[in-house]
Amino acid sequence: MAELTPEIRARAPEASETRRSLFGHSLGGLFVAYALMRRPDAFETFLANSPALWWNDFSTLALLHEFSGKIARLSVRPRVLIGVGALEQEEPTLAPPGVDLEAIKLRVREARMVNGAREFADALATQPPQLRFVEFDGEDHGSVLAAAVGRAVTFTLRKS
The pLDDT of residue 10 is 86
Amino acid (1-letter code) at residue 139: E
Q: Where are the alpha helices (DSSP H) in 39-141?
A: 55-58, 64-72, 101-111, 113-125
Q: How many Cα atoms sit within 13 Å of 115 on the Cβ side? A: 9
Per-residue pLDDT tens, the chain, 160 aa: give them: 567 778 877 888 887 777 889 999 999 999 999 999 999 999 999 999 999 999 999 999 999 999 989 998 999 899 999 999 999 999 999 999 999 999 999 999 999 999 999 999 999 998 777 899 999 999 999 999 999 999 999 999 987 5
Distances (CA, A) of 133 to 48, 49, 73, 82, 125: 10, 10, 24, 5, 10
**Chain center to CA of 72:** 21
Does pTM top 0.95 for this prediction?
no
Amino acid (1-letter code) at residue 96: P
- Show the domains of the chain with their CATH numbers: 21-157 (3.40.50.1820)
The pLDDT of residue 9 is 78
Residue 38 burial (C-beta neighbours within 10 Å; 0-12, 13-18, 19+): middle
The pLDDT of residue 23 is 97
Sheet holding 21-25, edge to edge: 21-25, 45-49, 79-85, 130-136
Q: Which of 144, 112, 157 is nearest to 48 (CA)?
A: 144
The pLDDT of residue 1 is 58
Helix, strand, coil abundance in the chain, percent, nearest 5: 50, 15, 40
Cα R_g (the chain), whole angstroms: 17
The pLDDT of residue 160 is 58
